Structure 1
Amino acid sequence: MMRSLYSGVSGLQNHQTRMDVIGNNISNVNTTGFKRGRVNFQDMISQMMQGPARPGERVGGVNPQQVGLGMQVATIDTLHTQGSLQTTGVKSDLAIQGEGFFMLRAGDENYYTRAGAFGLDAQGNLVNPASGMRVQGWQAQTVDGQTMVNTSARVEDLVIPVGSKDPAQATSQVFLASNLNKNTPLIPEDATDAQILDGTWTAEYDIYDSFGNTHTLRIDFTRNPDAENQWIATTTLGPEGDEVIPQQLSVGGVDSVDGATFIIEFSNDGTLQSVQNAEGGLMNDDDLGVQVTFEVPRSSIPLDPETGLPVDEVQLQTFDLNLGRAGAFVDSMTQYASESSTKVFNQNGFTMGYLEDYRIDQSGIITGIYSNGNNRSLGQVALASFTNPGGLEKTGETNFQVSINSGLPDIAPVGVAGKGTVIAGALEMSNVDLSEQFTDMIVTQRGFQANSKTIQTADQLLQEVLTLKR
């Protein structure tokens, strides 16, 4: 009878523990990124009343006789199943679809969470605004003019410097891909203005100097009357100004004496064949183009604060005018019997701008949107995964810490080593299922009541024993 009393007590205590876990689950039903708990029971040790006996020649074997001494909690698991995603429309809100955790840092301590309700602080750090913990990732770096994110480096605080400057960049590459109509009429020597206009095709595009000033690049194409499949191209900078900006062309390292004219030759199939100038400069293989050098207008040259004079008497700037690849159709100059087109499909200069906005894509890459039209990578959010995520320790505020049974974090970008994708403008909700919790609550309540009845019945039996002496 005493055994049944203690068995009932263990049942009461452990069902109360299970009820505590259920109550915590229900209280966090609307907690962002919360992972529900689950209690598993196991029986306690059993008292041996009679041991087993093996079969003999005259009788068979005898099974052991054991009386159980109650039950105990086997595990309290944290179930890291996927929670549903709720759209918020807030660009700094992040959710993970699949495996992985966001990595946060407070001082020297690292924490891991699925709750991605992030925001910016006064210094532009991407943080959890509830705790101030900083989101970890890789900050973008600019190497040789190219912006890149090195995900093999150590993670660091992610900073989105809204309002910061993007310095002006001088144009160094211009890419042409126009088509010149094969049927364009030749311009006679005594041509009228109308004939000249009809026989000339013009392409215009804006380029930039090192101070961010805009200059118009105009290229006039006319058919060469002395050679088939050849066009004479003349470049002009700043045609809208009072004075045309002085310039010099170079083809294959040979400067043009006339300064701004070169010849484009096409093959019979309409693709580029060569580029040359009158001074013997020739390019007829791989990438074809000319090099343009011009004088930066004096209004763009900085002045010496002491003398008030320009720092440099003449400041030169050079860019490559790329015409395409020999024999190529795509993104190259062509000569077909169709309407001429003006297609300057790219140039790499821009004015100074300010970071006005940012976006985060499914790879966790943060892209800054600048007022000068540039979109530049600012960094990438890091994700961490664990061999045993159930072994992580809860530290409050929907955060986890590494334990001796969770394994070390595997920190990598989205999609590496089974990590999920990042969904911006959404949050992962709690994975608590209320219908399941209410069912478990009923079962737990019945178990608690049944164990209380065990104690009551054992007490009545003891009372009967005490009354035997009457």
Structure 2
Amino acid sequence: MALIRAMNAAISGLRVQQTKIDAIGNNIANVNTTGYKSTSVDFGTLLSQIVGFGSAPTGTLGGVDPTQYGLGVQVSGTKQNFATGNFVATGVASDLAIDGDGFFIVTDGTGRELYTRDGTFGLNPGGLLIDPSTGFRVQGLMADLSTFTITPSSALTDITIPLGSLTIANATTKFGIDGNFNGGGPIASNGNVLQSSVPLFDIAGATPASLATLLTDLGRLETGGPLDFGLSTGDVLEFQAEKGGRSLGVRKFEISAGPPTAGIDDTGTTLRDLLDFIEGALGINTSLSSGTWGASIATGSIAALDTVTTTGAALTGDFVTAGVRPGDYIRFTSGPGAGQTAQIDTIAFAAGVTTLTFVSPLDGAVPLPLPGDTFEFNERSRVALGVAAATEDGTLSDAGPTPDLRVDEASPVGVMRISANAGLLNAIDNIVLSANGDRLLLFNESTAATGETATAHVTVFDSLGKPHDVVMTYMLEARRSPTTGDAVGTRLRWFAESADQIQSGTFGTTVGTGTIDLDATGKFVSENPGAAIDLSLDVQGVLTALAVDVDHAELTGLASTSSSIIVGTNDGFAEGTLNNYSVGADGVVTGIFSNGQTRSIAQVMLARFGNNQGLLQVGSNYYATGADSGLRTIVTPGTFSAGSVRGGFLEESNVDIAREFTDLIVAQRAFQANTRTISVANELLQDLVNLI
């Protein structure tokens, strides 16, 4: 009966509108659910009753349409809106949101994978990244915590962020120097020279002290006669000084034949041992091939008749009388050969000409000095004792290719002579040598230091992350008149010292030296050597020696009122503990350590599906794969159409409350209209019954 059919259709309408209202109610209920995706209901017609099938057009008729009566409506399906919701900042590092397509991956207690848009995560006591509401573990890739590298092809695993327990340290292998050295300053031609005010004396032998004099027999020769220092085996001598205005601290030397004990820097029994200790404490670089300079003895310029070859020179003037002797250095300070240096092997004066031969030849790859170029003679930088020529043991001498650095044949016998490296900031002052509370010697400066210098303090780190201070002192060694735009115009030399150096069997603070060539515009050209600092750290439980490259490519040599040199880069760092983290757009968890370092700890990965509508909702904001979802694909956030991760944010529900209320009103009216259809059909049926 037709009216019954109308009532059945209306009843189906009531059912589907009730389903729609259910969906709207669920959406409104989840308006504040993190990561919730709103659901809509799709309707479709039920079966239709065909009364007439109609007919096709004929030659005289246009055709008849079929006659059909609908039998109602049904729910054809539901659909989720996977559009990204708004983001709300929480400031919590473990809160994550996905800006775009994709799902976070978690595993339950059985290892089953589930997927969610809700990134309300946290860390459990073991550092695992989890969903605190369920305990499910967030999946991703873990970095190798020894190298902090993430392998993209590795299998998914639990993400662990070990706050408070992961520590790192890195030994310095290279640092860079930035800034400007005053290339317009004076050449550092002189280091200051200090001499003991009185000679040292061998009390037991009643002779001026020699390098072999036992410290227990050592004294000084006063005007009134010898004065015994009264030293005994086991006594500790304290030495302190200033260098370039900075204190070198107190260093200790014990009169002993054994190795140094705790708190003692060096040991020995003879005066030679003591001089070795003093030179090491002062950080004087004595490398014969380095071109390090002491005090200037004499200067001059090459005349038209003078000759300079790679193996020697004939120079107008009496430089023998001026104090030049074998073992000294000649350095050319102007012209195309500026910076060329050589150690003197032999020296002789006759007929107004000083003839020199060199221990090793000048650099043939660099132009030789020419008439008009200037030069100067310098003594070696060292700590030495004045002795009579060839009197030590018949073989010791301070001349020739293998001189004894402790022998000084030009100083008064028994006088200690300290020749510093060149430059103002290498100047040594305020020396105090004492034992048992008594000052043993006074020192007088005989030559002052000159020349442009600058210093920089660099902190290098050993393999355990312990810091060590290295003082870099720079001096202007030479200038050269360039003939081309890229010719070397200025040469700098640097010295490196570290009071932290510990060498088994040897005491000293010098850890390296090198040169830097700058062109005529003050720009860096080259340096030698590249790997120059060698810091020994014996018996410290660390990898030793600590070899460090120095990069001066950013250093300039422009003329200025003063030099300003700083440390630009340093690849070493002290121990640091992981105390914070952040998650980047690519899902990488970056650990932030207490020493300011950052490292990749892990990476949050995402899952994508061919059909998100095919996923099954399993509660607690989780999805599981469905028959029509397609296989899940693991992707890196921000790749393969996957969204990026936003750390410290959560994704809000994408429910549009205004739209839901509007749909609710429409569904309500549709429901009411269907009830009205039933009422009308019922009234009509009643009218039919009343006809009987």
Normalized against structure 1, the TM-score is what?
0.84
Give the Cα–Cα distance (whole angstroms) in 1 for the partners of residues 541 and 130 of structure 2.
43
| Matching residue of 2:455 | 202
- Give the 3-state SS of the residue equivalent to 1:232 in structure 2: strand
Give the Cα–Cα distance (whole angstroms) in 1 for the partners of residues 151 and 623 of structure 2.
26
How much has 1:418 moved relative to structure 2?
Answer: 2.0
Relative to structure 1, is the Cα distance of residues 92 and 121 closer, same or farther in structure 2, using a 3 angstrom cutoff? same
How much has 1:51 moved relative to structure 2?
Answer: 0.9
- Give the 3-state SS of the residue equivalent to 1:54 in structure 2: coil
How much has 1:430 moved relative to structure 2?
Answer: 0.9
| Correspondent of 1:337 among 518, 538, 559 | 559
- Give the 3-state SS of the residue equivalent to 2:464 in structure 1: coil
- Give the 3-state SS of the residue equivalent to 2:169 in structure 1: coil
Give the Cα–Cα distance (whole angstroms) in 1 for the partners of residues 671 and 458 of structure 2.
81
| Matching residue of 1:309 | none
CA contact (8 A) 1:237 1:245 kept: no
The aligned runs of 1:15-30 (5 Å cut-off) are 15-30=17-32
Give the Cα–Cα distance (whole angstroms) in 2 for the partners of residues 40 and 432 of structure 1.
17
Counterpart of 1:59, as a letter, is L
CA contact (8 A) 1:207 1:349 kept: yes
| Matching residue of 2:467 | 214
Give the Cα–Cα distance (whole angstroms) in 1 for the partners of residues 512 and 509 of structure 2.
7
Structure having the higher helix fraction is 1
| Matching residue of 1:186 | 187
CA contact (8 A) 2:576 2:594 kept: yes
How much has 1:68 moved relative to structure 2?
Answer: 0.5
| Correspondent of 2:596 among 373, 383, 387 | 373
The aligned runs of 1:234-245 (5 Å cut-off) are 234-238=495-499
| Matching residue of 1:92 | 94
Counterpart of 1:274, as a letter, is S
The aligned runs of 1:247-286 (5 Å cut-off) are 260-276=512-528
- The answer to whether 1:116 aligns with 2:119 is yes
- The answer to whether 1:414 aligns with 2:675 is no
CA contact (8 A) 1:135 1:158 kept: yes
CA contact (8 A) 1:102 1:114 kept: yes
| Matching residue of 2:446 | none
How much has 1:79 moved relative to structure 2?
Answer: 0.7
| Matching residue of 1:251 | none
- The answer to whether 1:294 aligns with 2:294 is no
CA contact (8 A) 1:180 1:334 kept: yes
Gaps of 5+ in 2: 194-243, 246-422, 426-450, 481-488
- Give the 3-state SS of the residue equivalent to 2:640 in structure 1: helix
- Give the 3-state SS of the residue equivalent to 1:263 in structure 2: strand
Give the Cα–Cα distance (whole angstroms) in 2 for the partners of residues 409 and 424 of structure 1.
23
Give the Cα–Cα distance (whole angstroms) in 1 for the partners of residues 190 and 567 of structure 2.
30
- Give the 3-state SS of the residue equivalent to 2:668 in structure 1: helix
Give the Cα–Cα distance (whole angstroms) in 1 for the partners of residues 541 and 87 of structure 2.
55
Corresponding pairs, count = 426
Counterpart of 1:366, as a letter, is V
CA contact (8 A) 1:119 1:129 kept: yes
How much has 1:208 moved relative to structure 2?
Answer: 1.4
Give the Cα–Cα distance (whole angstroms) in 2 for the partners of residues 220 and 322 of structure 1.
13
Q: Deviations over 1:311-356 (max 9, x none)?
A: xxxx6223232325xxxxxx53332224533232222222322211
Counterpart of 2:555, as a letter, is M
Give the Cα–Cα distance (whole angstroms) in 2 for the partners of residues 454 and 407 of structure 1.
43
Relative to structure 1, is the Cα distance of residues 342 and 240 closer, same or farther in structure 2, using a 3 angstrom cutoff? farther
| Matching residue of 1:349 | 572
| Matching residue of 1:306 | none
Give the Cα–Cα distance (whole angstroms) in 2 for the partners of residues 200 and 453 of structure 1.
102
CA contact (8 A) 2:585 2:645 kept: yes
Counterpart of 1:179, as a letter, is N
CA contact (8 A) 1:247 1:295 kept: no
How much has 1:4 moved relative to structure 2?
Answer: 1.3
Normalized against structure 2, the TM-score is what?
0.58
CA contact (8 A) 2:175 2:549 kept: yes
Percent identity between matched residues is: 35
Cα RMSD between the aligned structures?
2.6
How much has 1:124 moved relative to structure 2?
Answer: 0.6
Q: Deviations over 1:337-380 (max 9, x none)?
A: 24533232222222322211112233322111212332111112
| Matching residue of 1:321 | 549
Gaps of 5+ in 1: 249-258, 277-282, 284-288, 303-314, 325-330
Q: Deviations over 1:172-225 (max 9, x none)?
A: 222223432211212343759797136211111111122332210111111114
| Matching residue of 1:81 | 83
Relative to structure 1, is the Cα distance of residues 65 and 175 closer, same or farther in structure 2, using a 3 angstrom cutoff? same
- The answer to whether 1:135 aligns with 2:123 is no
Give the Cα–Cα distance (whole angstroms) in 2 for the partners of residues 245 and 35 of structure 1.
73
Relative to structure 1, is the Cα distance of residues 183 and 404 closer, same or farther in structure 2, using a 3 angstrom cutoff? same
How much has 1:408 moved relative to structure 2?
Answer: 2.0
- Give the 3-state SS of the residue equivalent to 1:72 in structure 2: strand
| Correspondent of 2:649 among 412, 426, 431 | 426
Give the Cα–Cα distance (whole angstroms) in 2 for the partners of residues 387 and 66 of structure 1.
39
How much has 1:460 moved relative to structure 2?
Answer: 2.7
Relative to structure 1, is the Cα distance of residues 168 and 379 closer, same or farther in structure 2, using a 3 angstrom cutoff? same
- The answer to whether 1:404 aligns with 2:404 is no
CA contact (8 A) 2:466 2:575 kept: no
How much has 1:19 moved relative to structure 2?
Answer: 0.9
Bigger drift between 354-363 and 396-405 goes to 354-363
Which structure is larger by alpha-carbon Rg, 1 or 2? 2
CA contact (8 A) 1:291 1:318 kept: no
- Give the 3-state SS of the residue equivalent to 1:26 in structure 2: helix
CA contact (8 A) 1:245 1:295 kept: no
Relative to structure 1, is the Cα distance of residues 200 and 52 closer, same or farther in structure 2, using a 3 angstrom cutoff? same
Give the Cα–Cα distance (whole angstroms) in 1 for the partners of residues 650 and 154 of structure 2.
28
Q: Deviations over 1:275-314 (max 9, x none)?
A: 34xxxxxx6xxxxx1233222154x238xxxxxxxxxxxx
The aligned runs of 1:67-78 (5 Å cut-off) are 67-78=69-80
- Give the 3-state SS of the residue equivalent to 1:152 in structure 2: coil
Q: Deviations over 1:429-448 (max 9, x none)?
A: 11111111111111111111
